[in-house]
Structure 1
Amino acid sequence: MVNPEISHHPTICYRSMHPSDLEILEQIHSDVFPIRYESEFFQNVVNGRDFVSWAAVDRSRPNGQSDELIGFVTARIVTAKDSEIADLLRYDPSKGHQSLVYILTLGVVDAYRNLGIATALIHEVIKYASSIAVCRAVYLHVISYNNPAIHLYKKMSFKCVRRLHGFYLINGQHYDSYLFIYYVNGSQSPCSPLVLVTFLVTCMKTGIKTVAAKLRKNEEKMVK
């Protein structure tokens, strides 16, 4: 289905970010986000310094706009043990350096929304994270009132694991944030259903052994 604001059938493609994307990237951020980013952030993104990013373009756009950004996602790699979600990982020091991918910004211009572009961009990040053998998860923050984004991440099997009070400060007002995680490469939360079941089974076995030991002691006393 074509967005009513688009006069043609879009041909959406995805590519890496280029230095030539700088101006339109800044413009879309300004239009989409209430938070303002430093110019250094955009320079680093388009030049691939400390960030990884993907761009969405509509190859069917006329008038030389076929390679102009209509959507994007920016992210960076962080060390797992030093991250804010280290307690949400089953960290194994014996496996050496382990990392995470943190999504910073995700945006799509108004005319191209509801076409699955945001979903496709997130899939690019997940695919990238999964290709890194030592990567444990993809994670991000969502402001508490952004219901469409919250719905999107839940639909894509991200787990909402924490609410952070007053995380954002926008125009002098504090807003809560939700922390979402998507585990990759076989990683899982310490509180995942599988871990809980294993824990309960272990407790049950331990309990049964303890009761059996007490019964044996009682029998021995009776015999004596």
Structure 2
Amino acid sequence: MDWNRIFLHELDGLFFLEIVFRTAFMFIVVLVVLRLSGKRGVRQLSVFELAIILTLGSAAGDAMFYKDVPLLATVLVCFIAIGIYRLITWVMAKSGYLEQLLEGRPVYIIEDSVMVIKHDQKDSLSKDEFFAELREKGVEHLGQVRTAILETEGNLSIFFYPNQDVKYGLPILPHLYNKYSDTIVDPGLYACIVCGTLNQLAPGRYRCEHCGHHEWVSAINTPRTP
């Protein structure tokens, strides 16, 4: 292999210094443009805003190391992009339909301790990631959760039952959840592992009336830890 071509190609000392300047310059430009957007963090970005960030990243990245990309043209691209962003956000404030089209709307995932996500939305959500986020917020089972809403920017809003009102629910701690089975051996209260629907079951095999799934795990009702 030609290591000189792989690592250096036609890079000389002067262009190396130019790359340092281009990178620092475009980094500052992107910071300024993002500051003008009014957003404080990536966690708050919607899909529409993420598209703006990717546009800025592509423009800035090219200008950092391509000799034939003028910096002023790239700055113009960045400010045009942020101008379009501010224009669309203004129009969205006037039009609820456009806002919903571009940013979506909040999705109820849990109501009364049962998952209510619709079939056409299931593919866009990872159950493992959803359970992991619940665990990060101190949730042991769905019986502790009154309502959970997936916000448009990707945050999860959770409303809990008071400890005295905690219900039985689907355990989401791995060592309990992974004890699920499609055959009930001992009678008791069980939760569907897909939607969390509760059923008092005798020994045998059953299908969930809510989602049609056929695997169950023992429900628990431990209170939340303060």
The TM tier, using the shorter chain, reads: under 0.3
Whose strand proportion is higher, 1 or 2? 1
TM-score by length of 1: 0.23
Q: Which has the larger radius of gyration?
A: 2
The structure in which a higher percent of residues are helix is 2
